[in-house]
Amino acid sequence: MTSETAPTAVPRNAPHVVVLDHGSGNVRSVVRALEAAGAEVELTADRERALSADGLVVPGVGAFAATLEQIKSVGGDRIIERRLAGGRPVLGICVGLQVMFETGAEHGERTRGLGQWPGEVTRLEAAVVPHMGWNTVDAAEGTVLFEDIDEERFYFVHSYAARRWEMEQIGALAAPKVSWSEHGGDRFIAAVENGALTATQFHPEKSGEAGARLLANWLSSLPRYPREAAS
């Protein structure tokens, strides 16, 4: 378990964001992108630091089952559950979006996910897989994440995706905002904004100026919490 504080100066009253250090290969690029977007960033798996941060980012690359195991190995599943139960924001990236669903189906095996959303992550049905490169997003109405960047392109690298949205609106609670993209005629979920839980299938940290603006939009939505460990 490591802890790393941003070495450069950060803006006054910058949001404090923890990037969950669970062994994902893209963590350092995520840290740099968040710093550039205006956050004070720590790369750590420390439970108390992750619980008390203004925002928690859960990156992920590679296989669903392997990423889930990495997250669980540092107690990330319990950290995510605790934060969301208290309404504290979490942002998942790529496989960090996928593991939020109930199950993932890869190579003939099904793995139980974190179960924050119903549904299954399955292989894309397209002539060319993986889906790798820049693509547009059909942004949800009323989105905060894609404000002023709904016509931009974002960078995707994935062979699997959530291809249906199955959560029903409950009572007077605001309906989740689900944004979509398409590859080879197969439509899949590109991003979800669901209360405190936000996630993107694409990589904002690899998406240039559009990704930087998207991260800034997410940061601007974060509440500020006292700088003390959560109980």
* Residues classed as catalytic: 94, 203, 205
Cα–Cα distance measured from residue 82 to residue 100, given in angstroms and rounded to the nearest whole number:
14
Cα–Cα distance measured from residue 130 to residue 102, given in angstroms and rounded to the nearest whole number:
22
For 47-98, the DSSP string reads HHHHHHSSEEEE---S-HHHHHHHHHHTTHHHHHHHHHHTT--EEEETHHHH
By C-alpha distance, which of 85, 14, 21, 15 is closest to 55? 15
Q: Please, where are the H alpha helices in 4-43?
A: 27-36
CA angle 29, 34, 38 (to 5 degrees): 145
Cα–Cα distance measured from residue 173 to residue 152, given in angstroms and rounded to the nearest whole number:
29
Tell me the CB-side half-sphere exposure of residue 207, using CA atoms within 13 A.
30
Cα-trace Rg, the chain: 16
For 137-168, the DSSP string reads -BPPTT-STTTTTTT-EEEEEESEEE----PP
